[in-house]
A and B are shown apart, each in its own frame.
Chain A
Amino acid sequence: MSTSGAAVPIIQATGLTRTFRVGRQQVEAVRGVDFEVRPGEIIGFLGPNGAGKTTTLRILTTLLKPSAGRAVVVGADVNTDPGAVRRRIGYVAQSGGTDGNCRVAEELILQARLYGIAKQDAVRRAADLCERLDLTGLADRPIRTLSGGQRRRTDIALGLVHQPPLVFLDEPSVGLDPQSRSDLWTHIRRLRDDFDTTVFLSTHYLDEADTLCDRILVMNHGRIIAEGTPDALKRRISGDVISLTLGGDADRAKAVLAECPGLDEIAVSGQTVRLTARGGEKALVWLLRAADQADLDLRSVNIARPTLDDVFLALTGSSLSENHS
């Protein structure tokens, strides 16, 4: 649980693998994942639905046994000492963890007591958490009467009752309105800034990963395909991103446009051809000229600095923002 020596990772995963049997088929949800998380980081696990994020999270939180590989979480091995891992981590599942008929404070107190905290202490912690997460005044309300954002904050409070040095949040902002999302981000940042809590969150929202996380692990098809700070990831896409939307055959357009000089990468996503180029403005001249000569039905053109979605697109060939669940 060292916070001083950044050399000691708070999570160390080596070759984590998990296969499920669905009917007669073996499905590899997680395929040999290696990574490290340092204390005090806010780590984002970014990927589309079905990438294996939740499965990995459930392995790290001892809910699921890995088929192969090992993970050391806050100094304890998830395979051999799950009890120690459980005492040292908090976990907030995507579905949350509340029953609408229960009341906020009684669930917080119960949760604290399940961690072995004495009753008086548990009562005090529940009150503290309600205050910290803007739930004061809601303590005795049935959970079903809370708003989506309040309910989510209750879920998170439940994961924090025992003041764990590391907390896992699975898709924390799914289903929240924009205001509740940005409130939630403030609370998550405060967890790290005021309480030195390491936060490991999974998300399929690019803006969440971009604005909230210090470092991102990009996951797709059960593998980690890239990792780094949001800026470093974006720098991997050298240059600008040019998007050309077409009325006609985008694949033919891709073939035509790929002939232009100065391009790095080119990908088709629906009716849009996306290219990256070092000198975007210069390349654009070439592109427009080529499009004109080939008689492409060009509808619109856009040039922009790269986003995490461009990173994802370049890595996987598909856009994350179009990957609706």
Chain B
Amino acid sequence: MSLIPASLLIFARQMRLSLRSPAWPVIGLFQPALYLAFLGPLLVRVAGAGVDGLPAGAAWRFFVPGLLIQLGLFGPLFAGLSIIADLRSGVFERMRVTPVSRFALLAGRVMRDTVVLLVQTAVLLAVAYAFGLRAPALGLLLMFLFVAAIAVGLSALSHGLGLLVRNEESFTPLLNAAAIPLLLLSGILLPMTLAPQWLDILSRLTPFRYVIDGMRTALYGDYGSSVVVAGAGVALATAACCLALGARLFARRNA
């Protein structure tokens, strides 16, 4: 069985399971929705007061990309928990004794997480629209492409790490320890242009700083900007690296 049909079979199985218990994707949306409702209006005021890097009238376009990154960091980044459950139940082993490509076992799962995040993105953008987000169509479309790259990278990384760590008690704190600094250093709440130099430098060492700047600039409608290109480049490169790492870990026979 070749790679694509095999990946689609795994994807269909994982998707079926998600649809059967849709609680997690819904709960996952809850947190960004709260930010939108309870923090968004404050940010509109802050932007109105004139803050460097936060254009007046663009508060929602500034704020929403951060929430999308947050969705990714608390969704696909934790997707590896499902591989640990499948290791424990023997489901993963059962699939590994078939001749199916090891990469298909990863790809099908990553596809599911990507689709879930894209649906969450659509819901979040719709809610944000209700709160007052206005952005050009192409900018909104680019959000989905950025989000897809983020989902692929984080999900692949998480699945690979799940195979290494193999138990939820260590895995969850490990991911939290990574997610919180990545989130804060990306500048999701306030523009990093306000940061002291050391914090700005630290922030530039993490990928989401570039991704979020790219996403914001895209929503402002400045598609040709080097910031958008850099953001897209970093998002794609990170996704490719994580996918390669995940594939290597899935291909190991000594797991």
Contact = CB atoms under 8 A, between A and B. Distances in A.
Given A99-B89, A115-B1, A158 B94 contact: yes
Interface size class of B (residues with CB under 8 A): 20 to 34
A94 B6 CA distance: 26
B17 interface: yes
Given A64-B253, A110-B9, A113-B1, A91 B99 contact: no
A82 B102 CA distance: 12
B96 A63 contact: yes
B17 A63 contact: no
Given A98-B89, A114-B9, A65 B17 contact: no
Contacts of A96: 89-90
A101 to B, nearest CB: 6
B89 A114 contact: no
B124 to A, nearest CB: 26
B166 to A, nearest CB: 13
A32 B78 CA distance: 41
A102 B1 contact: no
A168 to B, nearest CB: 9
Contacts of B85: 99
B253 A114 contact: no
Contacts of B253: 62-65, 82
B253 to A, nearest CB: 5
B86 interface: yes
B20 A101 contact: yes
A101 B90 contact: no
A97 B1 CA distance: 21
Contact of A111 (B90, B93, B98): B98
B45 interface: no
A95 B88 contact: yes
Contacts of A102: 13, 16-17
Contact of A116 (B1, B86, B94): B1
A97 B89 contact: yes
B89 A113 contact: no
A89 interface: yes
B17 A86 contact: no
A61 interface: yes
A175 interface: no
Contacts of A82: 253
A106 interface: yes
Contacts of A116: 1, 99
A61 B9 CA distance: 23
A86 B91 contact: no
A155 B89 CA distance: 11
B96 to A, nearest CB: 6
A73 B6 CA distance: 25
A63 B93 CA distance: 8
Contact of A63 (B86, B89, B97, B99): B97
A100 B1 CA distance: 26
A91 to B, nearest CB: 4
A186 B141 CA distance: 60
18 contacts: A61-B97, A63-B97, A65-B254, A86-B98, A87-B99, A89-B97, A91-B94, A96-B90, A97-B93, A99-B17, A99-B89, A101-B20, A110-B9, A111-B94, A111-B98, A114-B99, A115-B100, A116-B99
- In order of increasing CB-CB distance, the 6 nearest A-B pairs are A97-B94, A95-B90, A97-B90, A116-B1, A114-B98, A86-B99
